[in-house]
Each structure stands twice: as structure tokens, then as C-alpha cells.
Amino acid sequence: MKKLNSESLNVNFGIGTSKTEPIIPRKYTLTHSDITGELFLTIEARYDYEKITDMRDEVLAEWTMTSEDYALMVYVMVDNEKNPVMSAIRNDIFVKELPLALEAIVYGDRELLKTNRHLYKAPIYVKFNSAYPVFNRLELWGTLSDYK
């Protein structure tokens, strides 16, 4: 697993969102540059749709409430065309790169987490979205403390 280079992470807080509040609504849009390797994280009350490309290789996440407490829901689009072979490749890439993406979210929003330490114990659920049942699934990926 690659480790996050914090110098390659660009964080932008959107309207109505500060470094420490609110928890809900708080959404994350994480994109990257294949050329420079830079990561771009937008934190705001809505997803940064302007950053989403036809490649659909972004990672989206948001804070939600469960019956017990907060949880971080993460969404990735496994399919970007109707081709099961490409979906299998994209699935493998997401599984490999997701720890780095989660580390980027945790690092990028560290002030919120320092202010609300209980969020480090929040579970992370990842929804892999696909038209193919083998790739369309919801998985538990630990807690935020696993990625700090």
C-alpha cells in the first residue's frame, strides 16, 4: 500500500463548511491527476460535481447517522462502460488504492477529527457500485483510526 504524501494533497473547503464543522452535511470528493500524482479533496455540504469526469474514478464519501452513531459512507463507481473485464480491472484498482484515498480523507479533514475525536471510532462502509452483481457490494473497511 502506498503511503500518503501530504504535500501532494490539495484540500478545499466549500461554502458552509469549515475545518471543524458541521459533521452533517459534510461530503468529500476525492479526485487525482494521473500526470502529477496530486490528490484533490473537496470538503463541503455537497459533492463537487465539477471535479467528476467521464472516467468516474473519484471517491465520494459522506458522514451519515446509523442507529448507534456516525458512520462514513464511501462510494465508488466500478463500471464506466458495459464491459465486465474493465469492471474487474477497475474493481481491483479501487481495492488497491482505497486505503490511500481513505488516508487522504482522514488527513485532509484532520481538524474536524481532532475536534470530534469520537469520529475516529466511526465505521467506514464502502459501496462499490456496479451493474454486475459480483462487483456490486457494501463492505466494512474498518474505522477512521485505521487510516491516520
CB 27 within 8 A of CB 105: no
| Measured CA angle at 121 (ends 126, 104), to 5 deg | 55
**Res 28: pLDDT:** 98
**Res 119: pLDDT:** 98
* C-alpha span between 139 and 118 (Å, rounded): 21
| Measured CA angle at 17 (ends 11, 19), to 5 deg | 55
Report the DSSP beta bridge partners of residue 77.
Answer: 129
**Res 1: pLDDT:** 54
**Res 54: pLDDT:** 78
CA distances from 60 to 27, 38, 48, 68 (A): 7, 17, 9, 23
**Res 80: pLDDT:** 78
**Res 56: pLDDT:** 81
Per-residue model confidence as pLDDT tens for the chain (148 residues) = 568 999 999 999 998 899 999 999 999 999 999 889 899 999 999 999 999 887 789 999 999 999 879 999 999 999 977 899 999 999 999 999 999 999 999 999 999 999 999 999 999 999 999 999 999 999 999 999 999 9
* C-alpha span between 135 and 16 (Å, rounded): 35
